[in-house]
Structure 1
Amino acid sequence: MKEESPANTPSENQNVSGLERHGYGLGDLASNLYFQMFNMFLLYYYTDVFGIGAAVVANIFLFSRFFDAINDPLMGIIADRTRTRWGSFRPYILWFAIPFGITGYLMFYSPQLSGNAKIAYAAVTYVLCGMAYTAVNIPYSGLMAVISKSASQRARVSATRFIYAFLGGFVIVQFLPSLKNAFGSGDEILGFRYTMALFAIIATILFFITFLTTKERIKPDPQQQSRSDILASLKILFTERPYLVLVLAGLLNLTAVAIKNASNIYYFKYIAGNADEVASFGGGGWIAMILGVMFTGVLIKFFEKRQLIIWLTILGGIGMAAPFWIDPSARISNPGLSTGPFSLFGLQLNNIEFIPENARWIYLINLIGSFAAGPPVALVWSMYTDVASYIDWKHKRRIAGLVVSAAVFSQKFGQAIGGWFAASLLAAFGFQANQTQGEDAKLAILLLFSIVPGTLIIIQGALIFFYPLNAKRLHTIESDLAQRNT
């Protein structure tokens, strides 16, 4: 059960308005129009549309993360030491929104190339987009640590943020297939190109809104400038257990999610026999996760945050692994939930099926597991800001940017490892794009869809047992910081 804490918090003047919470959340909608596009469709795009071998794609994914090993912490250090009239973190959202939009579009531009030139283009644009993502997303994530001194307020901001993050995933999985078909008229290259152009424009505008509606309330430490100070901050990070637990947990989570999302379209195309089902399957899962996040505020009134994350994460992992034992042809009768055909931007699109009529059993399992996965994702990100407060309290160092840079790096590195592993396993088991798959390739797809990501998620939940910052300790930290600042 949740630990009791005094009713009056020391940061009552740190309340974040609804407008600001939603303005901040729109930034993660912008991020996830890219991040979830990469998670769910980039491997498929490279292998089945752009025409690159799975083993080559695996190497591109892995190679690009060597740049992030330097770029991400460097961006965190730079943001921590930035001093402008807009604050330390918000300026980067303004400055890099447009480069973020342009590089994402270029990834899916698909020029007429062949051989090594095609591979080079994919690698260069993927790296450039990763660098732009770093430049805007690390400051964006760091902003949550300085948006309020109150841990409870930051948890509310995080919950709102992830409603929009999951909405981004829903938009991608539901609208990308229809938009791609409508824009491309059967040409998947053109379909992806024009759809990504639309998402790039929307993402850029959303980041501008985030910049305009947010505020930094915790002022930077003017003494944090020197090289020795940077080295000391890095040393602190890698000796603090709360930080190390969260980084490893984040790496496990994003690796699992990348594997699962990348495998969805392969599962429905080559095993279930209907690639179009990926939209309804994924869309239902994202809606369930959004509902889970919306219930987060209720759940943390009755359960301590750390315990809630542990058990819901393990439940979500079990749900993710379960389809390994479910016959893909087994169906359940239900009335279905669909919108019917509709028009968007003048384009006639297919109906959205949140749950298709006569759905497969894996839909029900996916809904339960996705609902359970919603609250932990939002709460874990609020934990990163708690760690930043803990380091400020213990070491008198405000290094929120550096702390969240590790979160973003583990996110991107997990995505890369997951994509690399999925592509490598497909290549090793004889996968051939756009052909009938042998039993070995089908087994690889099924493992990627169920057992592998489910096991990683269960391990992640168990790892949170070792996270030491409970509600009582956080309240003490918050009170002490308020007294020190006064």
Structure 2
Amino acid sequence: MRQNRVTLLEKIGFGMGDAGCNMSFAAVVMYLSYFYTDIYGLSPALVGVIFITMRVIDAITDPIMGFVADRTRTRWGKYRPYLLWVPIPLAISIFLLFTTPNWSDGAKVVYAFATYFLMSVLYTSVSIPYCSLGGVVTDDHKARVSFQSWRFFFAGVAYLILTASLLPLVELLGGGNEARGFQLTMGLMGIIALFMFGFCFATTRERVEPISEERKPLKQSLKALVKNERWLIILGITFLQATQFFLRQGASIYFATYVMMLSAGGISFFITAAIVGKMIGALISPWFTSRFSKTHVYMSTSLIITAGSIGLFFMPFEQMMITTLAFALVNLINGIGTPISWSMMADAEDYGEWKTGERNTGMAFSGNLFFLKVGLAVAGGLIGMMLAIGGYEAGVEAQSASAVLAITLMMTLIPALITLALAGAVWRFRLDDTRMDAIRTDLETRRSGGNASSMDAEAFPTGNMAPRPG
């Protein structure tokens, strides 16, 4: 029996959950490094140690949280309860994270490690259940693209709120005291995120039930995941998608400042245009996937981004509007593919359940989130490495030719190479709409107590790009 139709309100509610994630974690990604070095008083090297340490801890906490979420049993489901329980302590942890205690240097270092650890664990405790919710709202692989598109639209809304209001709020609430301003502003962002998570909890439902509810040990569940080769491919897709996106976004402020030579207003316009482009792309993604196989759409967008990134390298950078429009279009195409990549994560889990008889949605999504964080870390490392190779000098009005070239490469040819590899990984995924329809039908038969078919997923017809009727 087909699952209930996902309503527009539920799509908006699901999207608000990612807005809540970005009002907390994205704010940390965007501003914590500056806060630590320029306000809190830590050295850049120590800040790097803190960030790397947390990624190592994520490698442990992410799969544990996925394992716990998969085995949660409440009247609200497995994953939704965490959107109700965790955001309150998460908001408190963000307030504490951006608090500057009047302590000794050693005590402040311990406090920084402790508060970042607390925030990271709490964010993991809400983000993994939230992402897992995207795999159980519906079993319709086409509808998944639609509600994932709303997710990334509202993520863009959160980014716009942060970029437009955070620093002015720091000045307003701090009254000249940046430490106090960041503390109060980030506390406010945590409270806003709390209500966003609450709206997501209230408007969404979990509909997809696993074939078996048998609670297996962590080691056995991990073995079942590793047997799912589509999940392993998705990990690679997630890593490549995150790396190319965060590399380009991280380099954009350097590009606007030192290559395009824009003023503060021009820089803001350039970055905002990119965010809006990605939001539009996310919203129109379902239009394409309703007419063509989503894996074909995703592979096509990856190839277009590759070509667009190469083309951007040859743009007349002194022409602000032309270059800004080109960058916004690259982000728009990227926005079309992003909801598809997250819907494919749920498809890979459907395939895994079909193949092994075991569903581990939380653990599967925890792996994807970890590889996304690895992509973020690699992108940050690439930016630092390229700036060093190019001889970048902070605070100067104009950079050397080698530094300008390094910055330009991070915006253009390097993301192009990564996105070309992404297109190849999508081609290897092979779970197109025809295959997913067959898997979905077979899983429904099993859930209703019927006999599983002996179909071979690899032998499914590949489908084509012909538009579907209606």
- Which of the five TM-score ranges fits, normalised by the shorter chain? 0.7 to 0.9
Give runs of aligned pairs for residues 312-461 of structure 1, distance below 5 A: 312-320=301-309, 322-326=311-315, 328=317, 330-331=318-319, 359-426=320-387, 433-435=394-396, 439=400, 442-461=404-423
Residue 288 of structure 2: aligned partner? 299
Change (3 A) 1:478 1:373: same
Distance 2:161 2:225 in 1: 36
Change (3 A) 1:189 1:443: farther
Distance 1:281 1:156 in 2: 28
Which amino acid in 2 is paired with 1:66? V
| 1:358-395 deviation per Cα after TM superposition (whole angstroms, max 9, x unaligned) | x4432111111011011210011011111111111121
Change (3 A) 1:107 1:417: farther
Residue 242 of structure 1: aligned partner? 230
Distance 1:153 1:141 in 2: 15
- Range 245-254 or range 103-112, more displaced: 103-112
- Aligned structure 1 segments of 4 or more residues deviating by more than 6 angstroms: none
- Range 401-410 or range 39-48, more displaced: 39-48
Residue 301 of structure 1 and its aligned partner are, at CA, apart by 2.6
Check the 8 A contact 2:294/2:340 in 1, yes or no. yes
Give the superposed CA RMSD.
2.7
Is 2:430 the counterpart of 1:468? yes
Residue 175 of structure 1 and its aligned partner are, at CA, apart by 2.9
Distance 2:394 2:74 in 1: 50
Check the 8 A contact 2:145/2:289 in 1, yes or no. no
Residue 64 of structure 1: aligned partner? 54
Distance 1:119 1:426 in 2: 27
Is 2:178 the counterpart of 1:217? no
Distance 1:59 1:173 in 2: 26
Change (3 A) 1:52 1:71: same
Scaled by the length of structure 1, what TM-score is found?
0.83
Change (3 A) 1:127 1:212: same
Which amino acid in 1 is paired with 2:97? M
Residue 106 of structure 1 and its aligned partner are, at CA, apart by 2.8
Check the 8 A contact 2:145/2:285 in 1, yes or no. no
Which amino acid in 2 is paired with 1:415? L
Give runs of aligned pairs for residues 69-218 of structure 1, distance below 5 A: 69-112=59-102, 119-184=109-174, 188-218=178-208
Aligned partner of 1:260 among 248, 251, 257: 248
Residue 442 of structure 2: aligned partner? 480
Aligned partner of 2:297 among 300, 305, 308: 308
Change (3 A) 1:115 1:275: farther
Distance 1:321 1:437 in 2: 24
Distance 1:411 1:428 in 2: 25
Residue 247 of structure 1 and its aligned partner are, at CA, apart by 0.7
Residue 161 of structure 1 and its aligned partner are, at CA, apart by 1.7
Aligned partner of 1:232 among 220, 238, 263: 220
Change (3 A) 1:361 1:33: same
Change (3 A) 1:441 1:196: farther
Aligned residue-pair number: 446
Is 2:251 the counterpart of 1:290? no
Distance 1:290 1:391 in 2: 31
Residue 334 of structure 1: aligned partner? none
Check the 8 A contact 1:57/1:420 in 2, yes or no. no
Check the 8 A contact 2:212/2:357 in 1, yes or no. no
Which amino acid in 2 is paired with 1:468? R
Distance 1:297 1:31 in 2: 23
Change (3 A) 1:246 1:445: same
Residue 16 of structure 1: aligned partner? 6
Change (3 A) 1:390 1:444: same
Residue 166 of structure 1 and its aligned partner are, at CA, apart by 2.2
Distance 2:193 2:161 in 1: 12
Distance 1:97 1:28 in 2: 13
Residue 107 of structure 1 and its aligned partner are, at CA, apart by 2.9
Which amino acid in 1 is paired with 2:153? I
- Range 446-455 or range 101-110, more displaced: 446-455
Check the 8 A contact 1:90/1:211 in 2, yes or no. yes
Residue 280 of structure 1: aligned partner? 269
Identity %: 31
Check the 8 A contact 1:429/1:441 in 2, yes or no. yes
Distance 1:269 1:98 in 2: 38
Is 2:15 the counterpart of 1:25? yes
Residue 27 of structure 1 and its aligned partner are, at CA, apart by 0.3
Distance 1:23 1:457 in 2: 31
